[in-house]
Structure 1
Amino acid sequence: MKMWKRNLIVCWFGMFVTSIGMSQIAPILPLYIKHLGVQNTALVEQFSGIAFGANFIMLAIFSPIWGHLADKVGRKPMLLRSSFGMSIIIFSMGFVNNVYQLISLRLLQGVVAGYSTACTTLIATQADKEHAGWALGTLSTASIGGSLLGPMIGGYIEENFGLQNVFFITGTLLIIAFITTVLFVKESFVKEDRKVLSAKEVWNLIPDSTLLITMFITSFILTLALYSIEPIVTVYVTQLSRNSSHVALVAGMAFSASGLASIIAAPRLGKLSDKVGPQKIMLIALLVAGVIFIPQAFVKNPWQLMGLRFLLGLATAGLTPSVNILIKKITPSSLTGRIFGFSMSAQYLGIFGGSILGGQVAACFGIRYVFFITSSLLLINAAWVYFSVFKKLPSTNKNLIL
């Protein structure tokens, strides 16, 4: 087996476990904060928002830093640093005595994280050019799958084993990811002796900085769109449902439907992008996703919403691999880690921004406007991609060398 294929398997497992760990904690934060002694409902909501957002803000800040270090010392050391650091920090969350200690550890978790960035960089630099789309598409299913299963796993552990065990089990899973990385990930990294480049010097080395900016903004808009429904999905399902006894379960299914579809479609769309060009997949995916958001505002029952969310997942599955392929193609190999770090920062800001946007728009204008605004953002992004990427790049992937 080729080295990059074995690394893909290990990285997929590590990203899957890391994603489960991050996503299964978020739904239980309000319960844990209440367990720590905060009884006022308004304060519980306030602290939950701070604890949730703190992690992603720090991730956005530190992802480029760890990406830069990955270019200097190698990607495997960053995988080991991240998995081991997060395992210790998340395990420690089970021992906190107050909400301030919890928030501090969430901040620290965001500082040391970066497993996904290092994995993406490692596979992007190692995979054969003709298989890059398939490899990155397959890798993206790990994050999607973990996010899909995480909330359900966290809820099951909390209900059957207690709140604190969610953190202990997550920490243990991350230690397993650390051990598998130590044993099985192989990297032939050659350190280059070069001066530390400033941000301006790095930017000047990029053949097409305008295209890179478009990729960052597309990453931001995509995650913002996917997470804009997270704060309101339970409320929306409650409005649509005639039987309120299973609202939480149905809401979870509705939110997870897009993730399930992405797991199915991402490797296939990644492979297709290797043949027809990632710019074509990206444009079509943005257009289809923008259109599919609109009827979600007019559904009559949760099952219609679930079906549309599934179709949305089929469309958005092609976006992240396409963005990563184009970033790889326009970035010098010595800067790949740093540039992918910036791309991950854009995604983390999109997660944070989407959560804020969905709640605020729903509160001010109504739930349906969340779908209208998100659709508009995706369609505007599609128009921008058409003029700045699709019209600019060669029509065949074979000639796409910038």
Structure 2
Amino acid sequence: MKIWKRNLIVCWFGMFVTLIGMSQIAPVMPLYIKYLGIHDTNSIEQLSGIAFGVTFVVSAVFSPIWGEAADKYGRKLMLLRASLGMSIVIFCMGFSHNVYQLIVLRLLQGVITGYSTACITLIATQTEREHVGFALGTLSTASVSGSLIGPTIGGYLEEILGLQSVFFVTGTLMMIVFITTAVFVKENFIPSEKRVLNIKEVWNVIPNRNLIVIMFVTSFVLQLALYSIEPIVTVYVTELARSSEHVALISGLTFSASGLASIIAAPRLGKLSDRIGARKVILMALIAAGIVFVPQAFVKSPWQLMLLRFILGLAIAGLTPSVNVIVRKISPEHLIGRIFGFSISAQYLGTFSGSILGGQIASRFGIRSVFIVTGGLLLANAFWVYKAAYRKLKAFV
């Protein structure tokens, strides 16, 4: 087996488990905080939001830092650091004695993270040029599916094994990721002899900075769109299925439907971007996703919503890998890790912002308005990409 294919398999598994580890706590967080001794409902809601969001905010800050370290010391070393660190930290969450220890560990998890940044950089730089789109498309399925399936897995583990098991199982899986990475990932890394640049200097040496910014914003909007439904999906499903006794299960399936679709479609759309160009895939995917979001506001049953979420997953599957392909091709070789770090930061901020925005819009204007607003953002992003970047990107992809 070629080295890049073996690396891709290991990185896929690692990213999948990593994103599960970052997102699986969402459905069990309020229950765990109550288990740790907080019983006031308002306090539980407030502390749950802090404990959930702090990891993504801190990760957004530290992703470029670990991207710089990957450029300087090698991507495999960063994979080992992140997987071992997260294994220990997540496992320790199961032993928290109070909510403040839990929040500190969640913050530390955000500091340690960086597995995804190193994976994307490794695959983007070591994969044969004609297969980059396919490889990054396959890798993106791990990120999207891990993020979307994580809450369902967390809820299932809590139900059959107990609250603390969520952290113990995830920590153990991260240790398996560490071992498989150490044994199977191979990297031909040659450190750059160029001086390490600060952030301002990095932006000054990047050609086509406007295109990079557009790609970062697109990553942000995509994650915002995916997670805008998270805080309101259970309420929406309850409204649609008043007679059902399985609201929690249906909600998990509804939220995870787009992740399943992405697993199916992303490698194929990655190949398509290799053939027709990533810029075309990005534009088509943004338009399709924006259109599919709107009818979700008018469904009459949870199964209609689930079907539309699945179609949405098919539409957005090509976005992240195509964005990564473009970022790879327009970035200087010795700065790829740092630039992908910024891209991952945009995704983390989109995840956090989407979770907050969806709840705020729903509380002010109603649940159904969340889908209309989010669809409008995707279509506006598509228009911006077409006007500001589509023709310029023809020279690269």
TM-score of the pair, normalised by structure 1: 0.97
1:133 Cα deviation from its structure 2 partner: 0.5
The Cα shift of 1:27 comes to 1.2
Q: Which residue in 1 is equivalent to 2:253?
A: 253
Unaligned runs of 5+ residues in structure 2 are none
Identity, % of aligned positions: 69
Mapped to 1, the partners of 2:243 and 2:120 lie a distance apart of 43
Q: Say whether 1:290 aligns with 2:270.
A: no
Distance 1:181 1:354 in 2: 32
Match of 2:269 in 1: 269
Give the AA of the match of 1:387: K
Match of residue 396, structure 2, among 389, 393, 400: 400
The one-character-per-residue Cα deviations of 1:267-315 (angstroms, maximum 9, x if unpaired) are: 0000000000000000000001011111111111111111111111000
Following superposition, the deviation at residue 160 of structure 1 comes to 2.0
Paired residue for 1:12? Answer: 12
User: Quick one: distance in 2 between partners of 1:164 and 1:308?
Assistant: 34
Measure, in 2, the Cα distance between the counterparts of 1:199 and 1:149.
34
Note the residue ranges of structure 1 that are not aligned, 5 or more in a row. Answer: none
- Secondary structure of 1:294's match? helix
Letter matched to residue 377 of structure 2: L
C-alpha distance in 2, partners of 1:26/1:237? 17
Q: Tell me which stretches of 4 or more aligned residues in structure 1 moved more than 3 Å.
A: none
Q: Map Cα deviations across residues 356-390 of structure 1 (whole Å, 9 max, x no partner).
A: 00000000111111111111111110011101221
2 CA distance for matches of 1:201 and 1:18? 31
The one-letter amino acid of 2:351's match is I
Report the CA distance between 1:190 and its aligned residue: 0.9
SS in 2 for 1:345: helix
In 2, Cα distance between equivalents of 1:199 and 1:16: 29
Residue type of the alignment partner of 1:86: M
**Letter aligned with residue 247 of structure 1:** V
Alpha-carbon distance, 1:171 to partner: 0.7
The 8 Å contact of residues 137 and 270 in structure 2, kept in 1 or not, is answered as yes
For residues 289 and 12 of structure 2, the distance between their equivalents in structure 1, rounded to whole angstroms, comes to 26
Matched, 1:27 2:55: no
Cα deviation code 1:120-173 (max 9, x no counterpart)? 010000111111000000011112232343223222221222211211111111
Q: Which amino acid aligns with 2:32?
A: Y
User: 2:351, 2:148 → 1: CA distance?
Assistant: 15
Give the counterpart letter for 1:260 in structure 2.
L
1:283-322 alignment runs, 5 A limit? 283-322=283-322
State the Cα distance separating 1:71 from its structure 2 match.
0.3
| CA displacement at 1:240 relative to structure 2 | 1.0
Cα distance in 2, alignment partners of residues 342 and 3 from structure 1: 27
Cα shift at 1:79: 0.3
Q: CA-atom RMSD, angstroms?
A: 1.1
Distance 2:27 2:60 in 1: 21
Aligned to 1:98: 98
- Give 3-state SS (helix, strand or coil) of 2:6's partner: helix
Corresponding position of 1:155 = 155
- 1:76: which partner in 2? 76
Give the letter aligned to residue 396 of structure 2. Answer: L
Letter in 2 for 1:353: S
Matches within 5 A, 1:18-167: 18-167=18-167
Aligned length: 397
Shift of 1:391: 2.1
Structure-1 separation of matches of 2:289 and 2:272: 18
Letter in structure 2 aligned against 1:225: A
**CA–CA distance in 2 between the matches of 1:152 and 1:241?**
19
Asked if structure 1 preserves the Cα contact closer than 8 Å seen for 2:330 and 2:396, the reply is no
- Partner residue in 2 for 1:189: 189
Q: Deviations over 1:178-199 (max 9, x none)?
A: 0000001111111122222122
Secondary structure in structure 1 of the residue aligned to 2:197: coil
Q: Matched residue of 2:392: which SS? A: coil
Specify the code of the residue in structure 2 equivalent to 1:342: F
Cα shift at 1:21: 1.8
